[in-house]
Every structure is written in structure tokens, then in C-alpha cells.
Amino acid sequence: MNFTLLKKLSRSLAFTLILSATSLACQENAEQQEEADSIENSTADATPVVNKRPAPKFFVIPEDMVKKRVWICENQTADVFHLKHDCPVLIECKGKGTFRNVTLPKAIEEYGRYNCQVCAKELDSIFDEDAVRIETGFGQQ
């Protein structure tokens, strides 16, 4: 008799636990949903101006690239440099900003630019701390 009661009690306790866990999970989901909504809203407000990324904190310019000249678009949103003067992303600058032809170090150091993912993808390693570490043999035995 007592045993059955205990069993019943523990079952209802377990049920309560499951219930509260479920409602907690629901709450979390709701919060995440809210967060996602607010992100969407802020993006919508900012459109079409895309915020510039902060200037790169890490970069290593290979010696043979120091005198390399690259193209940049000077406006409110551009944060990349281009290897090709006819890069479609660079051409979008037309009428919206000023074209400049500068050296690669200047583009990064003075203008805080990253490599364009369309025409200068191969320069990813300049900003990739891990890639440079492997190249220079740091951390290897």
C-alpha cells in the first residue's frame, strides 16, 4: 500500500519535472525567437548601409606583396581592397564613392581593408593567423 503510494508520488514528481523542463525549453525557444526577430529588425533598419568591419587586427603581408598595388572604393560601406580593377564589387562603387589605387600595405594599414572575396580570395592567408603560423612553422616540432 505504502509502496504504491510512493510509486504514485514519484511518478507525479517525475511528470512535474518533465513538465517544468519542457516549459523551460519553450521559454528558451521563445527568447531565441525574440532575439532573432530583433536582429532582423536592426538589419532592416540599417539597410542598405552595411556596417564596415573594424580594421583588421592581424595581417602579415608577404614580402613580394609589399609593393603590390590594389584598388579600393572609398565610401561609407566598403571595407575591402581589390586586385582587379574590373572586379564587379569594385565597379559597384561607381557613382557611390571614390576609386583609389594604393599599395597593399596602405590599403590595409591606412584604410583598414580586407581582401575582396571575389577577386582577391587567394589573399585570405594575409589575415589568417592560423595559416601564417603553419607557414612559419610555429607550434611544429
Closer to Zn ion by Cβ: residue 5 or 124? 124
CB of 137 to Zn ion, least distance (A): 31
Report the distance separating Cα 130 and Cα 126, nearest Å: 10
Site membership for Zn ion, residue 65 (CB under 5 A): no
Report the distance separating Cα 55 and Cα 114, nearest Å: 8
Figure out which of the listed residues 73, 82, 108, 123 binds Zn ion, where binding follows CB under 5 A.
Answer: 82
Closer to Zn ion by Cβ: residue 108 or 119? 119
CB of 42 to Zn ion, least distance (A): 27
Using CB under 5 A as the binding rule, the residues of this chain from 38 to 57 that contact Zn ion are: none
CB of 22 to Zn ion, least distance (A): 50
Counting residues that bind Zn ion (by CB under 5 A) gives 6
CB of 124 to Zn ion, least distance (A): 13
Q: Report how far apart the first and last C-alpha atoms of the chain are (Å, whole number).
A: 70
Can you list the pairs that 106-110 forms with residues at least 24 positions away whose Cβ atoms lie under 8 Å? 107/70, 107/72, 107/81, 108/55, 108/56, 108/59, 108/61, 108/81
Report the distance separating Cα 61 and Cα 105, nearest Å: 7
Count Cβ neighbours within 10 Å for each residue of 77-88 and write b for 16 or more, e otherwise: ebbbbbbeeebe
Closer to Zn ion by Cβ: residue 59 or 119? 119
Using CB under 5 A as the binding rule, the residues of this chain from 99 to 138 that contact Zn ion are: 116, 118-119
Residues that bind Zn ion (CB under 5 A): 82, 87, 89, 116, 118-119
